[in-house]
Structure 1
Amino acid sequence: MKITFLGTGTSQGIPVICCNCEVCRSDDPKDNRLRVSVLVETGDKTIVIDSGPDFRYQMLRAGVKDLDAIVYTHEHKDHVAGLDDIRPFNYLLQKNIDLYATVRVQEALKREFSYIFAEKVYPGIPQVNMHTIGTESFFIGETELIPLEIMHYKLPILGFRMKDFTYITDAKTIPQHSIDLIKGTKVLVINALQVEPHISHFTLAEAVEFAQEIGAEMTYFTHISHNMGKHADVEKELPANIRLAYDGLVINL
């Protein structure tokens, strides 16, 4: 299994224009983060988790030539806004793209992209096959995905475990039954927004505490805001088996 971090940032806490702070002025490419998304290549399928506003550029930058499925964690715009940009994959690959989402997320997609789901099909619109998921495990090709119930403040969302890889973003609280499903994973990805307290996301300290509770061989933090500080400075303070993810990071499992 090959995992590529397409984006490790978030709309939360990112300036609309450069504020001339040390992060804005950083020459380290690891401080330049697009909205959070990850590419998982399983051997028989190419899967993306969340298609945010930067989806088109992320796929171009990573040189992605194939796409089978998009799996959605939740309906916030920084996780769904790029759905329209699957059109080139429809055209070049001559196939529909499978979408996996809860009923609530499907309803949001149908509101935001009503033309995709209209009865009268307009030529050239994105072609999709919608699959309903919940809390039961499901397969994409030969790979089992185990949904993980997560709370994003008061909004129920999903994380996913695939074999020894667990991916969670936008978590604030994680119930014990989900923790039980996560334990034993070799690579954990979890959100860490910033150092200061936040109502709906793990802080850096909360993410470290959770990572140590799970005890994965390696943990990577994602959904990192501009407010976190410079990548190199934060990494100096982290335990040896916990790192900040960055755009373009590749992990092979």
Structure 2
Amino acid sequence: MVVASIRLLPSPLLSFAPRRSPYSYSWRSHPSLTIPFSSIHSKASTKGDGGAVELGGDQTELIFLGTGTSEGVPRVSCLTNPLLKCEVCSKAAQPGNKNRRLNTSILIRHPNSSGTHNNILIDAGKFFYHSALHWFPAFGIRTIDAVIITHSHADAIGGLDDLRDWTNNVQPHIPIYVAKRDFEFTPLPVWHGQNYRSLGFRFGNICYISDVSDIPEETYPLLKDCEILILDALRPDRSTSTHFGLQRALEEVRKIQPKRTLFTGMMHLMDHEEVNDSLAKLLESEGLDAQLSYDGLRIPIRL
């Protein structure tokens, strides 16, 4: 067993540590900025992520497992409404349509010295099983080497019970298995409604903020020189008390000035093609490279 660690800087809001239980996961408050984890057993770690998708030796990927709201898209209430047809939900019901969105979640896939990949999951919401069922076999992902939680709502933690499949059948527990020098996750404290703190995370020059209604001034310096910003954008017309709408999200993009922005957490009022066509015009008029993400999107990143 090797003890590795991941550092959450600069705000000591969360700590994650494996524990002996059928579920083998926990999270708690912690005064320290350095969080130790026991690595997975060497036999389990050599299984890697299945090898179905071959990448370059130093290629890191970010995979969008889900890009939707808590209830997901399509909504059952829309598909069963005899009086009003919801165009986005109708499209989302079609196989392979990019309007189909499960709970917001990403997976960072980072190569390791053994020739496989370490997989770090951010959020396991109530639809996590369905996302994993679809994308893990498709992308050859087998192990989960860490789970990081942004906040305690059901769309971020409701799928934690499903991790039993991994701890019972794939690996003995779900820790962080990277060298101390390899990763720094910087918490990005934001507001997700009045007096409710949520966390975004920065890893390398990637900034991920999935649930946000306001960004405190003290968080902006942590967003400096962001290359890829992944940002909450619930609906096209307005913000709510707990989430950015598209226009507010664009205001933040102009303030943060990332090189590229991918919006996430979209509800059924956001038609993928229509909104992206509109956003493409901002690249011509303002130089803003911003688009909606979608479930299953894979992008290469540098860490």
Range into which the TM-score falls when normalised by the shorter chain: 0.7 to 0.9
SS of the residue corresponding to residue 98 of structure 1 reads: coil
Distance 1:65 1:178 in 2: 34
Residue 113 (structure 2) pairs with residue 37 (structure 1)? no
**Equivalent of residue 206 in structure 1, options 242, 245, 248:** 248
Match of 2:263 in 1: 221
TM-score by length of 1: 0.79
Match of 2:192 in 1: 152
Q: Which amino acid aligns with 2:273?
A: A
Q: What does residue range 179-194 of structure 1 map to in structure 2 within 5 Å? A: 179-194=220-235
Contact 2:65/2:131 (CA < 8 Å) preserved in 1? yes
The worse-fitting range, judged by mean Cα deviation, of 31-40 and 14-23 is 14-23
**Equivalent of residue 243 in structure 1, options 273, 291, 295:** 291
| Structure 2 gap segments, 5+ residues each | 1-59, 113-117, 284-288
Q: Which amino acid aligns with 1:153?
A: G
Q: CA deviation at 1:141?
A: 7.4
Contact 2:262/2:291 (CA < 8 Å) preserved in 1? yes
Deviation per CA, 1:52-105, whole angstroms, max 9, x where unpaired? 011112112112211011100000011110001111211233321138xxxxxx
Contact 2:72/2:102 (CA < 8 Å) preserved in 1? no
Change (3 A) 1:95 1:142: farther
Contact 1:42/1:143 (CA < 8 Å) preserved in 2? no
Distance 1:97 1:232 in 2: 37
Q: Which amino acid aligns with 1:147?
A: P
The worse-fitting range, judged by mean Cα deviation, of 156-165 and 24-33 is 24-33
| Structure 1 gap segments, 5+ residues each | 100-138
TM-score by length of 2: 0.66
Change (3 A) 1:12 1:200: farther
Change (3 A) 1:12 1:85: closer
Deviation per CA, 1:201-229, whole angstroms, max 9, x where unpaired? 1010001111121111110000101122x
Residue 101 (structure 2) pairs with residue 59 (structure 1)? no
Match of 1:8 in 2: 67
Contact 2:230/2:264 (CA < 8 Å) preserved in 1? yes
Deviation per CA, 1:32-67, whole angstroms, max 9, x where unpaired? 111111011122421111100111121121122110
SS of the residue corresponding to residue 150 of structure 1 reads: strand
SS of the residue corresponding to residue 181 of structure 1 reads: helix
CA RMSD in angstroms, aligned pairs only: 2.0
